[in-house]
Structure 1
Amino acid sequence: MIGENIVKSFQVGHEKQIVLDGVSIEINEGEFVSVMGPSGSGKSTLLYALSGMDDVNGGKVSFDGKDLSSLSEKELADIRRTKMGFVFQQPILLKNLNILDNIILPAMRDNRKSAEKITEKARALMKKVGIAGLENRDITQVSGGQLQRAGICRALISNPEIIFGDEPTGALNSKTAQEMMDIISEINSEGTAVILVTHDAKVAARTERIMFMRDGKIVSEMRLEKSSGIDMEDRTKKVMVKMREIGI
């Protein structure tokens, strides 16, 4: 995935507010990337631009060699459904469906797959993330952490090439957030690229490359080693030192 000189602006009254100011970024296959910055820096807008959920005013976003701006809404929707996964701070699940049905819903629109195979995969994913046995629960009958796990299963149901996470641990307590990052890290280790927006240095420290944003621009970048076997406290300190250095 490549973003080249991305510009995104909004009209606020008589003034134009620039949210992304010529941002360029490349996410390589299987990479684990985080984006940090203060509120209003443009990090979530960048995520939506890269995933095609939001139009851009300038520049170009390419995925699998295709310019997203050249695609129809149906083509964009198909790419997001089959090649991208999304995990948000608050999982977007339907109240009238149980946990299992919420997970399989995106994949069921692909008529090439049988419902039986999709359901089998969903159950395997639920077991993997620790929510086996909750298939028939309503979304009001599980905890926030369990909902977030269901959201991860839903994001993975179509074997995406990349996962987009917008503050995926933001509404969780520290223990559950750590468990969530363990799951996301495992997903990445299996070959799925991940890009996370976060304000949490502990979350960013789990990734391999951190982009720092301010005022709609990427102002700095740092790289970390693979996190396996590395002291997370030391990694977190390095991220916090970098944040202080660039004033975010």
Structure 2
Amino acid sequence: MKKMIIGESIVKSFGTGNEKHLVLNGVSACINEGDFVSVMGPSGSGKSTLMYALSGMDGIDSGKVSFAGRDLSKLSENELADLRRTKMGFIFQQPTLLKNLNILDNIILPSMRDNRKNAAGIIKKARVLMNKVGIAELEKRDITQVSGGQLQRAGICRALISNPKVIFGDEPTGALNSKAAEEIMDIISEINKEGTTVILVTHDAKIAARTERIMFMGDGKIVSEMRFEKFTGTDMDDRMAKVTEKMREIGI
């Protein structure tokens, strides 16, 4: 399996002097192409900080992060921005959509900034994605006129518009009810089956149980890992039992 993201001995702290707080304490992690990974841990364990470090959204104090063989510390801010915009997609707990734009315009905005000459192609692709995730009829709606689950689907479309190699999700189902969360995970799972690498930060054992690899964090380190086969929809009880047992074991 080809390696996509490699983090080596990552150290990250916030604050200075007596207020300095070590968040990542020598973390190493390797993500392969096509992986479906979740990161779990108690609040303050460093799981979101690790995601931001691996994506280049946040700098690190020491160690190394490489993406497809490129050392992120060697890239300029513009090069990092280009890499994130063209090779990575991001899904957050609360989609950062603009209130003055409708759903379709929010989805196409990042791509239109770079490629206005292909506006028709971008719009066509956005509509294909919207149809795929079940919000085709909402393209003219304002973001205040749709549900949280529908907003998250729009966020997924925006994350996919540039054909990213990897999707990062920070609690992507955290603000949704259980039915909407399950529907969003169905979409994310399908994205992974089509070949896109997926890395999710979550506190929800049911979400983690649908992934194929779980990294458990504690006190700024990866303290344990668990692997599963692809989720079939028939083995959730067994997977959940194993995840919750591990969570109890490491004190999550």
TM-score range, shorter chain: over 0.9
Give yes or no for the alignment of 1:208 onto 2:212.
yes
**1:13 positional shift:** 5.7
Give yes or no for the alignment of 1:182 onto 2:186.
yes
The code of the aligned residue for 1:35 comes to V
Q: Which residue of 2 aligns with 1:129?
A: 133
Give yes or no for the alignment of 1:158 onto 2:162.
yes
Q: Which residue of 1 aligns with 2:73?
A: 69
Q: Quick one: distance in 2 between partners of 1:159 and 1:189?
A: 14
Q: How does 1:1-150 map to 2 (within 5 A)?
A: 1-11=5-15, 14-111=18-115, 114-150=118-154
**1:14 positional shift:** 2.2
Q: For 2:197, which of 182, 193, 196 is the aligned residue?
A: 193
- Provide, for residues 45-81 of structure 1, a one-character-per-residue CA deviation record: whole Å limited to 9, x for no partner: 0011111110100101100111111111111111111
Other structure's SS at 1:62 match: strand
Give aligned pairs, total: 248
Q: Quick one: distance in 1 between partners of 2:234 and 2:216?
A: 22
CA RMSD of aligned residues (A): 1.1
Q: Quick one: distance in 2 between partners of 1:99 and 1:33?
A: 29
The code of the aligned residue for 2:163 comes to N
Q: Quick one: distance in 1 between partners of 2:19 and 2:138?
A: 49
Q: Quick one: distance in 1 between partners of 2:31 and 2:166?
A: 9
Runs of 5+ in structure 2 lacking a partner? none
Larger helix percent: 2
The code of the aligned residue for 1:99 comes to I
Moved over 6 A (4+): none
**1:247 positional shift:** 1.8
**1:15 positional shift:** 3.3
Change in Cα spacing, 1:16 to 1:86, as seen in structure 2 (3 Å) is same
Runs of 5+ in structure 1 lacking a partner? none
Give yes or no for the alignment of 1:243 onto 2:247.
yes
The code of the aligned residue for 2:88 comes to M
